[in-house]
Amino acid sequence: MTPVLDVRDVGKVYGSGDATVHALRGVSLTVERGDYLAIMGASGSGKSTLMNILGCLDIPSTGSYHVDGTDVGALGDRQLAVLRNRKIGFVFQSFNLIPRMTALANVELPLAYGGVGASARRARALAALDQVGLSDRTHHDPNELSGGQQQRVAVARALVTAPSLLLADEPTGNLDTKSTTDVLRILDRLSDAGRTIVLITHEDDVAGHAKRIIRLIDGRIVEDHRQAPVDGPPPRLASVTP
């Protein structure tokens, strides 16, 4: 099956001459449908650069990147924008909701850009808000919601288009412990339901929710491993029964 993400030997260079920065140096990575990946690494290791490439916000300097089989490097700006709208749901550390627009209107927005009609838009946005437990807040503006609630609206907005990839950059970075738990539970549930998720974080606790962790140092992947689920099935007691 075609992987959702196929990154091959990607390099990213910023600047030129003495100011040249090699932000990514030969990164290769495939992500299959339904995987839940955490990208970790120190500041400056290339996480944001990789996230921008995975999210089709930027293109590699060298190597190739395919989303659902589409070669991103072959697309122009307009086509990239369409691909982003159709295939990728973004969640940012700072929520990035539009002020003075209700939660419902914020969630409808990517569907409006995608040309979905008004009544389908509304129904899908309400269903997405229900998935994040905010059916009772649909007509609140962002400034009437807590940080955790705003981030859940942002998750609903990212989900509403049924994207191939949910891409979250430090989604709990601005949240208190309780809201962090709420948002991570929602991501866990989405993962259980088969969504493909890539999460950038520098917190071990947050990365612990993912199925797979990759670690970047100086623009290179130095580690790529799978981990057992946090809330996996309880250990079977049968083996200790006398």
Residues contributing to the site for Mg ion (CB under 5 A): 47-48
Assess 61 for contact with ligand ADP (CB under 6 A): no
Provide, rounded to whole angstroms, the least separation between the CB of residue 238 and Mg ion: 46
Assess 149 for contact with ligand ADP (CB under 6 A): no
Q: Locate tokens 């409808």: which residue?
A: 108
In this structure, what are the phi and psi dihedrals at residue 184, rounded to the nearest 5 degrees? -65, -35
Per DSSP, the three-state class of 221 is strand
Residue type at 222 in one-letter notation? V
Is 48 or 64 the residue whose CB approaches Mg ion more closely? 48
Provide, rounded to whole angstroms, the least separation between the CB of residue 115 and ligand ADP: 32
Rounded Cα distance, 47 and 81, in Å: 21
Assess 201 for contact with ligand ADP (CB under 6 A): no
Strands 36-41 and 197-200: parallel
Provide, rounded to whole angstroms, the least separation between the CB of residue 44 and ligand ADP: 4
Provide, rounded to whole angstroms, the least separation between the CB of residue 104 and ligand ADP: 33
Assess 44 for contact with ligand ADP (CB under 6 A): yes
Residues 197 and 90: beta-carbon distance below 8 Å: no
Is 29 or 186 the residue whose CB approaches ligand ADP more closely? 29
DSSP state of 218: T
Which of 29, 41, 137, 168 touches ligand ADP (CB under 6 A)? 41
Residue 183 corresponds to which tokens in the numbers above?
Answer: 């948002």
Which of 16, 17, 20, 43 touches ligand ADP (CB under 6 A)? 43
- Segment 103 to 122, residues that bind ligand ADP, using CB under 6 A: none
Assess 49 for contact with ligand ADP (CB under 6 A): yes
Rounded Cα distance, 200 and 26, in Å: 19
Is 14 or 114 the residue whose CB approaches ligand ADP more closely? 14
CB-side neighbour CA atoms (13 Å) of 79 = 9
Strands 70-71 and 62-67: antiparallel
Strand residue runs (E) in the chain = 5-14, 21-31, 36-41, 62-67, 70-71, 88-92, 165-169, 197-200, 212-217, 220-226
Provide, rounded to whole angstroms, the least separation between the CB of residue 21 and ligand ADP: 4
- Contacts with ligand ADP by CB under 6 A lie at 14-15, 21, 23, 41, 43-49
